[in-house]
Structure 1
């Protein structure tokens, strides 16, 4: 299977080629990365009607500054008036015409305050792209294929640390999970993981440590994993991994019942196993919702920033229940079987909330994961960004679920809307499950 090519990076490259030209092939050989364009190109999730899907800096000096660093220069015909790259309506229409063949064609360009221009996309091609790539690639959505010539990286961690009774210290559990999560994230990077016996002189050596390595060599990166502290006294916790999972399991049940209105049922599968999974998920969220180099605090008496895990898994179960209910109703003859995706009218998913879920969360998922590794060589793996993304995805899906009421009895003429939304729900479930798996969290099917 071919690797996923980040569409926002393609778009950034197309915009860069429209406004600039290469003058130094050696300096400009690196690909244009959307996330490193800074003020030039901004991705919008909120207030899309007013801010556009993306916006660009319209002042030429910002583009010129970027060009000086990237072996490029401005196309002189792109800013003839007031030092703007899109000075008038004719220039904007010229870009829209050029973008007809781009990865995402432009529908309109609107000048904004502070000398920016807002771009809006034709939504249907983007929706079709996202749903197709997510559902076709499945759990490989966003993976990058590595060639034998890819730079190599060796990942290890400091020696084991246990209590006298042989159980795992909570601080060591955090450290070991940082290594495991970083290893999973590597599938979204240009690095090729190798074992210690496969290292070469050019291999980047990354070690997960409880403190920064003294006299660190240039070919070595230290990922510092902060301690796990008690919430009040800020002293190192004496809890081990198993006792903390048990504590958080009880918290998750109470939270699901009282905050989310869930009634736990032992009739579906192994109830004890479900409780254990809820607790283990809560522990991961507790340990990695802050930067890994920062201290994490244990949660006592159900207090603290712990709603996330129960809320995330509640919505994971809600996704599974929606699809399970739809399939049962198809078998019962309430609905016709789901048609192929190519036969679905995807224009039915163009309203603002559908678009926010697809464009704002499903589309950029690979870039979000990639961004966790942007500063790896500086000793930082931003796992907390992934935790934040998962929480936000659960929140926007919860809003979508409440507003769309997807599986209500629908008249025959509204069936195409149901089918389109079932495909969207399938894509959301796929992305959420992949994101959870990167953290080592198992999704749930019933709560």
Structure 2
């Protein structure tokens, strides 16, 4: 078994109490405010109220590891210690923002912590850490298979003392949110470099930069993920100063690899929470409904699905914790095999379990009356986000074959 630090255990208790007092009782309130909002992508007043309570409770920026503790008000939490906290946040999909632990901002904040200049950190990281603004990470493109990041075509060209960006991006999470103030944009600055992993750079583009426009909001299985949302973007001769580059020309792929590893495992942590809550709701459901003269819970097929779901969640949780422990010991790069294994298996596991639990709820399981339909959507798009299943399977398979055939 894995042992959590005393600090993690205290945070688990405090976070659990916070959910009981402020998150679960406000789920319907949140839904009403979202429906009544003048814009689908406007800030939700309830979130601001809860963010203030979370700050007062010391439940803020919990994702920051000890190596970056200079940027937060606590000592930092290891991946292992953060895992049960992220799992709890995954039980209510909108809750991570309450604690400033929501994607894509956590990954973007880590990029700023690791790779940004002091001036860039002052302008963008500081308000992100305070939860005053939001951010987006723009890498995926509609016209190329972006699962191979070297395919991206958005051009980043130097013109005097400016970078000029031209191209399209899509499924850019957070871009629709009215508080999104900064985009981290990956594109090709040196397309003829013989090293295809040094052709890319990443630059910072403020939202109000001329030439940057939102083409349209996008949905996944019909969900628009408001108020954060996903968008298709157009960069039409977008100009930013040379100092807006991150780390330096040709370092974009390096930054992407450093960012995506922890982000992938954070999604897995949250998905376990979504699956666990779905299972708990299913157990409550099957003891409150009867068919053919007996409770649903007494039917063999129901018990089999409950048993399989319980076992699969336990296996997935242990894999994620093992991955976290390995990341803490050797770093994300050396733990890429376990990160890939988690990324391949956990979203699919969550999707399968949530689907079973939806089935046990009958037609109601497909509606917004329960959390499962949106959680299913989250699990499904996580199989595409941060690299599709097939890319991770290909990379992990190559690594495992090399390991055992040597």
TM-score by length of structure 2 reads 0.26
By percentage of residues, which structure has more helix? 2
Higher strand proportion (structure 1 or 2): 2
- Higher gyration radius (CA): 1
Normalised by the length of structure 1, the TM-score is 0.24
